[in-house]
Amino acid sequence: MADLVLTGGTVVDGRGGPPVVADVAVADGLVSAVGAPGTLRGSRTVDVSGKVVSPGFVDIHSHADFTLAVDGRAQSSVAQGITTVVTGNCGHGVAPVTDRSAPLVPTNIPGWRAAWDSAQSWRSFPEYLDALRARGVGVNVFPLVAHGALRLAVAGFETRALSAGELSRLRGLAAEAMDAGAVGLSTGLEYAPGLAASTAELVAVAGPVGERGGLYASHCRNRTDAIVAAASEAVAVAERTGCRLQLSHFVRRPTSSDRSIFYQAVDVVRACRTRSRMDVFPFTHGPTPLPTFVVPMSLRDAPRREVARRLADFSLLETLDQRFVDALAGGEAAACHVASDGSDGALVGRTLGDLALEWDLALPEVVLEILRRAGDDFYDAVVVEPVFADADLRWALAQPDFLVMGDGLTGALDGPLAGHAMCASDWGYVPEMLARFVRDEGLVPLPEAVARMTSEPAAQIGVTDRGVIAPGYRADVVVFDPARVGTPVREDALVALPSGMDEVLVNGTAVVSAGRLTGALPGVVGRA
């Protein structure tokens, strides 16, 4: 007899086929049977008639590396039906840590506050995974090893080519991470320290990843007028190493002068000789840590307190990052909403333009004033900025090879992460996709949308036993009401419970039951 039977629901199994009314039985952490309504028996039965039963959602692009170490419950994820997160994206990662990088890693992780430094109890990548397992997690965690963490470990923020010995060390650290349970390598080539890496360096470091069947996930060098060249570099790394390829939030930025080059770049990715996918979140605004806007690497290669001291000096205005200069020219900067101010939260929800008027400062001075107020927590100063034109977002969401993801953190309603958020996706990307773009606007059929948030990302990270409702698969299962599902989050209000997510199982254990968070920690960490 099964432990649980979900009876009478409409099963959307994650493989893209038509919905079927059926019972789903769960036993010993697995989906044990799918059968006609009324044919399965269990110790407990939940009537889910009129609701959708789907696989748990897989967020292939998360930055929850450190928030999971602070609070493993992942309430913001499980509340919207996310049962698996892929961490370590955009080259940002919390492991491995060396004597060289220990004071630098917390200054390169979006949202990390000085008060949470004590959560970093690990040095090696295997020790990091063990730390997550020891504290317990509410979601499954399949991490990428971040190229930025590897480069910091040997060269800090130095803008130079690595020696042969240093490259060999990076390759060894990448291999160690893969053998410990990582699913791939990520790069952040618009950010420090990744922007200092050559293509040859990326190929060298990704080599052990491809040998182990891993993923190369890249926040590429450029998503404006040089996006075709950036896509070509990512494809070259994947093809030369045998990695599967994932292009992160791969939609042109509004400052791009020519939409046609975006379509050319997508064609370049689609022509990759290894399996390739792109991804996008279902909002026009996305997260950006303010230091990445303005702080050059030459000012970052120091402990947190020293960098904070440097940021208090307005002479930094003379060395503004070119990306911020472009944002100013394009009018994007004024429309950025403060997601986290690194301080008491008084600025959260405000736009940089509003603050410029209130403080009678130019926009660059507003950014530096926010960083100055944040002090040691300057990397917890994050804005959500207009990153996609609506037409480009809709085009990407309609493409079958664009996976739908979050690009955020894990948050909580109470405890050390209460009220902490990086973007609207933290609490709302799944319900936004299901409500707005599937139910209300019909942009994407429900079976396809579910597949692009379940089985497709699972396959992309090389996980073969999740993402599908079928006997023998892990019982990561979501029950949602298609009429009620939705989210109230918006750019100036990032923390809010979604509606319509009634049951969420992770490995057969309820993390949401009858719409309530249970606090259970049944997630697994790392690829076996």
Is residue 195 located within the same domain as residue 271?
yes
Is residue 198 located within the same domain as residue 266?
yes
In a domain, 457, yes or no: no
In a domain, 522, yes or no: no
Is residue 80 located within the same domain as residue 92?
yes
Domain end position, chosen among 334, 359, 384: 384
Owner of token pair 């920690």 = 521
In a domain, 338, yes or no: yes
Is residue 242 located within the same domain as residue 277?
yes
Is residue 123 located within the same domain as residue 165?
yes
pTM assigned to the model: 0.96
pLDDT at 72 over 90: yes
User: 353-363: buried (b, 16+ CB within 10 Å) or exposed (e) per residue?
Assistant: bbbbeeeebeb
Question: What pLDDT is attached to residue 51?
Answer: 98
Is residue 129 located within the same domain as residue 10?
no
Distance, CA of 143 to CA of 126 (rounded, Å): 11
Percentage with pLDDT > 90 across the chain: 81
Is residue 396 located within the same domain as residue 504?
no
Is residue 78 located within the same domain as residue 203?
yes
Is the omega angle on the peptide bond into residue 96 within 30 degrees of 0, that is, cis? yes
Phi, psi for 133 (deg, rounded to 5)? -65, -40
pLDDT one-digit tens code per residue, 491-507: 889 999 999 999 999 99
pLDDT at 256 over 80: no
Distance, CA of 451 to CA of 54 (rounded, Å): 9
Is residue 278 located within the same domain as residue 371?
no
Strands (E), 101-152: 140-141, 144-146
The structure tokens listed for 207 are 């080599």
Q: Note whether 455 and 462 are within 8 A (CB).
A: no
Report the number of distinct structural domains present in the chain: 3
In a domain, 523, yes or no: no
Domain containing residue 182: CATH number: 3.20.20.140
DSSP class per residue in 469-493:
-STTSB--EEEE-TTT-B---BTTB
In a domain, 100, yes or no: yes
Domain containing residue 39: CATH number: 2.30.40.10
pLDDT at 314 over 70: no
Is residue 370 located within the same domain as residue 406?
no
pLDDT one-digit tens code per residue, 94-137: 999 999 999 999 888 888 888 888 778 899 999 999 999 999 99
The domain containing residue 353 runs over which residues? 290-384
- Whole-Å CA distances, 374 to 229, 337, 341: 37, 16, 7
pLDDT one-digit tens code per residue, 415-453: 999 989 999 999 999 999 999 999 999 999 999 999 999
Is residue 214 located within the same domain as residue 67?
yes
Mean pLDDT of 82-90: 98
Q: Which region holds residue 95: left if phi is over 0, alpha if psi is between -120 and 50, else beta?
A: beta
Is residue 96 located within the same domain as residue 193?
yes
In a domain, 7, yes or no: yes
Q: Torsion angle, CA of 467/471/477/478, rounded to 10 degrees?
A: 100
In a domain, 443, yes or no: yes
Question: What pLDDT is attached to residue 304?
Answer: 82
DSSP class per residue in 370-405:
HHHHHGGGGGGEEEEEE-S-HHHHHHHHT-TTEEE-
In a domain, 275, yes or no: yes
